[in-house]
Amino acid sequence: MSSAIEIRNLTKRYNDLTILDDISFSIDPSEFIVFLGPSGCGKSTLLRMIAGLESISDGEIWMDQDRLDVLPPGKRNVSMVFQNYALYPHMTVEDNMAFGLKNIKTEPAVIATRIKKAAEMLEMTHLLKRKPAELSGGQRQRVAIGRAIVREPKAFLFDEPLSNLDAALRGRTRIELAQLHQRVKATMIFVTHDQVEAMTLADRIVVLNNTKIEQIGTPIDIYQRPASKFVAGFVGTPAMNFIPVTALERSQGATTVHIDGMKPIKTHINYEHLPDPAGTFEIGVRAEDVDVVHESESEVSGTVSFVERLGERTLLYVKLVDGRMLIANTDGKSPITAQTKVHLRMNKAAIHLFDATGRAYHGEAQ
Amino acid sequence: MKGSFRNRGEWLNLAFILPYLLVFIAMILIPLIWGISLSFEKVDLFGGGRFVGLANYQRLFHDKIFLQTVSNTFYFAVLTVPALVVLGLFLAINLNKQTWLAASLRGIFFSSTILSVTVVTLIWRIVFIPNDGLMANIFAKLGFEPIAFLSNPDWSLIAVAIATVWWCLGLPMMLFIAALQQIPKDIYEAAALDNASRFTVFFKITVPSIMRTIVLVTIIEIVMQFQLFGQALLMTNGGPNNASRSIVMFIYDVGFRRWDMGLAAAASQILFAIILVAAMAQFFVASRSKGNS
C-alpha cells in the first residue's frame, strides 16, 4: 500500500515566474513527509504536481518503478485531502466516499466494506447518510480523510488540511492524523506553513523557500541544526535571536565570538570549518538557550521591556545597552517584571553561526 | 414598551416597501383582478360591460382557432424551452474559460439578445424567405428542393422557433456561466483524482451543482415563450392558415381588432393559468427529484 516517491529535477514556471527551480529529493515508503515553508514558496504547487493537478515545466516524478508525471491524476493512485475538503456538496457522505471507487468499477460489496471500515476507523458511521452542508468543519475534515482512505492509495497527499479548523480541533486532528499514519502505514505528504504541525507529524521535513529546498531533515535536525539562517528563523517560536558579530577568533580549535557590548563568547563551533573567518557573521541563539543568571556569569545585560507569560515558561524581551532586542527564557513562575535589569548567559553548545550567504555552522561535528 | 418598539419597527419596514407596493397594486394587482372580472362580462372597448358568467370561457372552448393557438403555443414552448436550456448550457460550459476567444464568443452570442424583435425577424426573414433567402440558396446548392419555411404549415412555427432560440439564447447562457463560476474548482480536482470521466463529471458534478439555475432558466423560458407574439406576428402573421398563431396573437386580435374585451380577457386568464401550472409543475418536479437524490 505504500510507495517510494522520487522527485527528479522538478521545475515549475508560470511564464517568466519561476515557482520551483530544479527540486530533487526522494520519499521512502511509509514515510510521513511534510513540506514546510512560507506562503508562496511553492509547497502546494509541488504537492499538486505530484497529484497531477498542476503541469510540470521540467523534471520527472517517479513512484516505485513507474513514471508518475506522464499519467492523468486518476491513474496515479494517490488520494488528496484538500484545504477546503472539496466534498461533493450534493452527495451524502457515503456517496462522497464511494464516488472514486464506483468510477473504477469496484464491486459494490467491496465498496460497502471499505466505507464501513473507514467510517468505523474515523468514528463517523452515524454521519454516512448526511450531506456535507449538515456537517461541522471537523466532521467534513473526517469525511475528506475517509474519502481518501477508501481508495487505498499508494500515497496520501494533504494540502494544508488543518488550516480551517479551530485551535483545539486542529490539535486533536493532528494527533489523529499521526495515529492514522501508524495504522495505515502509507506514504503521506503533508503541506503546511504551520511549524508545529510539521514538527509533530513529520518523519522528515522538507523546508522550501524561494523556489528551492532549504533543508531536508528530521524535525529535531531542522530545529537544532538548521542548514541556513532562513530555516533557523522560520522554525521555532519565538524566532531565533540573531546578533551581528564584530570578530571571530580561534581558541583551541573552537571559535570565540566577539560582539560589541558583550563579553567574548566561546562557542563549540570548529574554527577550521569556517571558510572565511574574516567575513561577515551573525550568531543565532534561541530564546530557550538564553538564561537569566547572576551578573558574574553573564555575557550581556539589559532591561526587560516586555514580559510574555506563556504558563510553563516566561519570555523576556530584553533591550540591550545598544538598543538591540534579545529574547530570553525563564521559568513560568519568574517574578521578573518589565523595566527590571537582567543579566543573560547563552548556552554555548546551542549557538549557531551564519555567514553572509545565510549558511549555518553548528557546534560539534559539522 | 418593548411591544411598541417592535410595532414601530414593523411599520418602518412597511414604509420602505410602500413605494413599490403601490406600483405593484396599481400596475399589476388591479389589472389582474380587473382582467379576471372582465372575463366574466360581455364588453367592448367603449361602453360598459354586462355580466355573462362563464359564457366567454364556453365560447373559447368551442372556438377551433383558439384551441389551435393553444396547441400551437404548447408546441412552440416544446420546441424552444428545452433547446434554450440545452444549448444555453452547452455554450456556457464551452465558453466558461478565461481566453480571449471565449470572451469574444460570449459577447457575440449574447449580442442577439439586445436586438429588438423587429430586427430579429427581419434577419430571419432574409434567411427563410423563398427563392433568394439564405436557406433557399443553401438547399439549391446542395441540390435539394427548397422548403418554403414561412409559408409551409409544417415548418412555419419551427422557423419562428429557430429565430426565437437564436434571439433568446444569450440570457440562459449568461445565467449558466454565472452558475458554473460558483462551483468550487477543487471539487473538479477531487473528481479528477477520483477517476471521473468527462461524462460522469458533467452528470454527477456539474449538473447537480447548477440544478437551481437550470430550474430558474426553465421557468423563465416557460413564462417567456408561452407569451410568443412579436416574432410570429412579424414573420408569418400567424399563418399559413393559423399554423403559427399563438395565444397572445389570438388575444390581441380578439381584444384590439374585434374589440371583444371579455373574450380576450378570458383567453388571457387561460394563458395565465397555463403558464402558472407549467412553471409550478417544473418547480415541483425539480424540487422533488432533488429531494430524492
Provide the mean pLDDT of chain B: 86
Chain-chain contact of A53 with B192 (C-beta, under 8 angstroms)? yes
Q: Do domains A5-234 and A241-361 have the same CATH topology?
A: no
pLDDT of residue B45: 65
Whether residue A236 is predicted with pLDDT greater than 60 in this model: the reply is yes
**What residue type is A172 in one-letter code?**
R
pLDDT for the residue numbered A365: 45
Q: State whether B204 and A88 contact (CB < 8 Å).
A: yes
> What's the confidence (pLDDT) of residue B170?
92
pLDDT (average), residues A74-97: 92
What pLDDT score does B4 carry?
Answer: 55
Alpha-helix residue ranges (DSSP H) falling in chain A:
43-51, 93-103, 108-121, 137-150, 167-184, 195-201, 219-224, 229-234
Domain ranges of chain A: 5-234, 241-361
Nearest to A23 by CA among A4, A43, A39: A43
Q: Find chain A residues with C-beta within 8 A of B209's C-beta.
A: 89-90
Report helix angle B261-292 to B64-95, nearest 10. Answer: 40
* Confidence check: pLDDT of A185 > 80: yes
pLDDT at A200 over 80: yes
Q: Nearest-5° angle of CA A140, CA A49, CA A17?
A: 115
- For A325-337, the DSSP string reads EEEEEEETT----
Residues of A in Cβ contact (< 8 Å) with B192: 52-53, 72-74
> C-alpha cell of A105?
468499477
Angle, CA of B7, B9 and B10, to the nearest 5°: 65
What pLDDT score was predicted for residue A326?
A: 92
Which pLDDT score is estimated for A366? 37
CB atoms within 10 A of CB B212: 13
Q: Measured between alpha carbons, how far is A305 from B199 in angstroms, rounded to an integer? A: 65
Determine the Cα–Cα distance for residues A56 and A22; give it in Å rounded to an integer.
11
pLDDT, tens only, B190-237: 999 999 999 999 999 999 999 989 988 998 898 889 888 888 888 888
- Bridge partners of residue A191, in order along the sequence: A35, A159
State phi, psi for A34 to the nearest 5 degrees: -115, 130
Q: Which CATH number fits domain B55-292: 3.10.180.10, 1.10.3720.10, 3.40.50.300, 1.10.287.3240?
A: 1.10.3720.10
pLDDT at A345 over 60: yes
Three-state DSSP class for residue B182: helix
User: A238 preceded by cis ω (within 30°)?
Assistant: yes
Measure CB to CB from residue B187 to each of A79, A88, A151 and give the nearest one.
A88
pLDDT band at A122 (very low <50, low <70, confident <90, very high): confident
Contact call for residues A288 and A329 (beta carbons, < 8 A): yes
Question: Which one is the CATH code of A5-234: 3.40.50.300, 3.40.50.620, 3.30.230.70, 3.40.190.10?
Answer: 3.40.50.300
Domain boundaries, chain B: 1-38, 55-292
The residue length of chain A stands at 366
Find, among A181, A189, A201, the residue nearest to A159 by Cα: A189
- pLDDT mean over B68-83: 93
- State how far the Cα of B24 lies from the Cα of B33, in Å rounded to an integer: 13
Distance CA A314, CA A291 (A): 11
With 0-12 / 13-18 / 19 or more C-beta atoms within 10 angstroms meaning exposed / middle / buried, residue A154 is buried
Q: Which residue of B has its CA nearest to A97?
A: B194
Cell for A287?
Answer: 530564546
Element (H, E) at A159: strand A155-159
- Consecutive H or E run containing B287: helix B261-292
Residues in chain B: 293
For residue B6, name the pLDDT band (cuts at 50, 70, 90): low
Could you identify the residue written with the cell 507529524?
A: A201
Min Cα distance A175 → chain B (Å) is 25
Nearest-CB residue to B208 (from A78, A87, A90) = A90
Which range is least confidently modeled, A7-16, B136-145, B186-195?
A: B136-145
* Fold category of A241-361 in CATH: OB fold (Dihydrolipoamide Acetyltransferase, E2P) (2.40.50)
Determine what percent of chain B is predicted with pLDDT higher than 70: 95
The pLDDT of A340-353, averaged and rounded, is 91
